[in-house]
Structure 1
Amino acid sequence: MTTTLSRRGFLAGGLAAAGALAVGRHALAASAAPFRLGLQSYSLRGYREGDKSSVEKALAVSHKLGVRNWEAYPGHLPVTADEAAIAGYKKLLGDAEVQVVGYGVVPIKKGSPENRKYFDFAKAMGIEYLAIDPDPDAFDDLDKLVDEFQIGAGIHNHGPGHRYEFIDDIAKAIAHHSRLVGCCIDCGHFLRSREDPIRAAEVFAGRVFGIHLKDVKDAKHFTILGQGDLNTPGLFKTLKSQGYKSLVALEYEENEQDPADDIRACLEEVQKAVDSL
């Protein structure tokens, strides 16, 4: 199921009834590029059952918020080749009206059999891209996998000190590799590294596999969207100009135990950004 943003009923009530992701008060103009908005399910990691994150609870919150697309993190849907387990995942997701568009972050290591497991799992689940943290010597292996499976792989930047901290480092790493290897732009971590997420969208145009939409103030503090330094309208404007079709996944890392109200406030900020286009 592919969902397209209109400008109606973005928040929980209207979306739960409509079964499609929407933004704002009326339909987007015909010239406006469609966006798929969702959550990086890590945002919902604090909803737990015992000592583990509960995918059932996370899906229930996601459904209540009206969010219908996920980039799932492995704590919610551990990688498996078991057909019965995959069928169980699909039933849970279907009951919550949630589609997993992306998955990660996962490591990619030279010669590791685990690499193929991620792609096999993505294919079985209908996942479009993986957010990855590849070892520098693993790109030849990665090229073969993305070309075989036709599943995109976006390098996830993880902020200060990470080996893929800077835009230019990622651009250099992918320069001579498959066009299905690109960047999963984490806006918050780029801001922590004093990099511009809009420049990242421009540099990696055509090779953006997932966006983690989050805000940071003064390169230090994660905030509710709109309270930090991210130019959210500018980012959406850039993505629109590129005809970006992949997922924009809100990721909210604060208030771990019960972030639903804060996530709702972030979604309202997205509404304003899309309304401004």
Structure 2
Amino acid sequence: MTMHKTILITGSTDGIGKLAALKLAEAGHQVYLHGRDADKLASVITEVQAVATGEALDRVGGFVADFSDLTAVLKMASDVNEKLPKLDVLINNAGIYTTSAATTKDDLDIRFVINYLAPYELTNTLLPLLKQSSKARIINLSSAAQTPISYEAFAGQASLEDKTAYAQSKLALTMWSMALADKIASDDINVIAVNPGSLLNTKMVDEAYGQYWSSADKGANILTELAISDEFANDTGKYFDNDIKDGIQGDVRGEFGKPHADALNKEAIAKLEKHTEQVLQSLY
């Protein structure tokens, strides 16, 4: 019998985050959603409640936060800590690619903030709650697009085009995922970074590329499996590449693969950690 889990999915008012929430609630898990728009979040919570079964029926909730504002992220983390007695699975799914406003109110590139710094702050603040679980999992949404980080751009001192900023932010998230897995290995918390599949049929991909290769379900399915399947119970510090080897189109499931070389480079990771702390200290 599958133990029902308490799961928080960021960026879950549309795309693969929403699809994963629907699948997990339908399977009877307690699901908490996140979005930046309170009305949209309430509407999606109603949709997820409609398919929820078992214990999950009365246990679908949500949290509002604009992830481009790290103060709002920390406030949300505080709310989650107050509301939940434990957290079994955290899926850091919220992400941004194209945008009309490339910088935040703190003059940082919005991709670095939403795709990396927000999950970094949220996860670190929720670690005590994850430790309350007997075997917690953190799933970080990476990408096939990963490019070495410009620390000038990371600190807001240079601007990047959308594609480059996105790829650099996703490498930062992947590097941190590997480091976090090592750091919390003794706490029985697993960390997996996942490329859910290239050019899935989602709003973000449509806005960026205007075409898709695979269904959004492909991404939602791997998120669901990584979150709850016993198959992944002992996997941590790994990168799951949901693009198949012999061509990336189609809905076939991928496999664990090698992340970008910087994600396995201790010196590169130490440099990222140093610059991350510097940027965060400049904000608070």
Please indicate, yes or no, whether the TM-score normalized by the shorter chain is above 0.5: no
* Greater share of residues in helix: 2
* Greater share of residues in strand: 1
TM-score tier (shorter):
0.3 to 0.5
Q: TM-score, normalised by structure 1?
A: 0.34
Higher relative contact order, chain-length normalized (CA < 8 Å, sep 6+): 1
Q: TM-score, normalised by structure 2?
A: 0.34
